[in-house]
Amino acid sequence: MPARLIPLRRPAQLSVVEGRFVPEGVPLDAVDAAWERVRAAVPRAHDGPMLHVLGTSRNGHGGVTVHCVASSYRFHAVAREGLDTGMRPIGVKAVTFAPGGRVLVARRSAHTLNYPGRWEFAPAGTLEPGVVPGEMILRELREETGWSAQAPPVPRALMFDPVARSWEVVFALDAVPPAVPVESWECDRVQAVEPHAWPGELSDAAVQMMPVLEAELRARGR
């Protein structure tokens, strides 16, 4: 599936059906072998529950419903080893504004699954079953950066990232830094920068999110 960015005027709604996604046409022993290679390369990788996106549908007035079913992280992670099981998880991302109009970015550590060594808008994470996207992005903000939100997150887009093979609910956030920096294994650097003064090469996902950034800048008179 090619890259997509669907603007939102209302929060994305999740519709989770009963059942479980297990890939068909892919031997599970091949998945297990690939998963062990992933764990060797990414020691912090954990095979927890995830949601697999079955499809999306517009629900009117600028909203989208994301249809999901439960699955497991390993079915997504093995794509790193060239094994595409068809798993398409849903995650959350945000364009976060710091005081003074700066933008929060983070460099992915060398031991992350996607975009190691590349810069992304922060925070970002995979949505856990039973947690709504707005709650998840605030949790990721605390855990990944230590920053604190100054207002509820505002959903701005739903996008498909063809590199990570994931759907993402994209928010706009305003936040302030912590008194003491927080260490995260996923990010080896977190900093607030002037828009477009990026400290290094951006991930494809960050480039894909540029229309959200530009719309926010216009709305803020910048």
Q: What is the DSSP string of 162-190?
A: TTTTEEEEEEEEEEE--SSPPP-SSEEEE
Asked if residue 123 has a cis previous peptide bond (ω within 30° of 0), the answer is yes
Q: Which amino acid is at 214?
A: E
Q: Which amino acid is at 130?
A: G
How far apart CA 85 and CA 30 sit, in angstroms, is: 10
**Which DSSP state fits 100?**
G
pLDDT of residue 124: 95
pLDDT in tens, 111-160: 888 899 999 999 999 998 999 999 999 999 999 999 999 999 999 999 99
Task: Please state the pTM of the whole predicted model.
Answer: 0.95
Looking at domain 4-219, its CATH superfamily turns out to be: Nucleoside Triphosphate Pyrophosphohydrolase (3.90.79.10)
pLDDT in tens, 179-201: 887 878 888 999 999 999 999 99
DSSP H or E run through 192: strand 187-193
pLDDT of residue 186: 85
Residue 1 pLDDT greater than 80, yes or no: no
Question: Band of the pLDDT at 6, cuts 50, 70, 90?
Answer: very high
How far apart CA 150 and CA 211 sit, in angstroms, is: 23
pLDDT of residue 21: 96
Residue 105 pLDDT greater than 80, yes or no: yes
pLDDT of residue 111: 82
> Distances in Å between the alpha carbon of 6 and those of 16, 56, 86, 128?
20, 11, 21, 22
pLDDT of residue 45: 87
pLDDT of residue 59: 86
pLDDT of residue 126: 93
How far apart CA 157 and CA 209 sit, in angstroms, is: 9
Question: Band of the pLDDT at 13, cuts 50, 70, 90?
Answer: very high
Per domain, the residue ranges of the chain are: 4-219
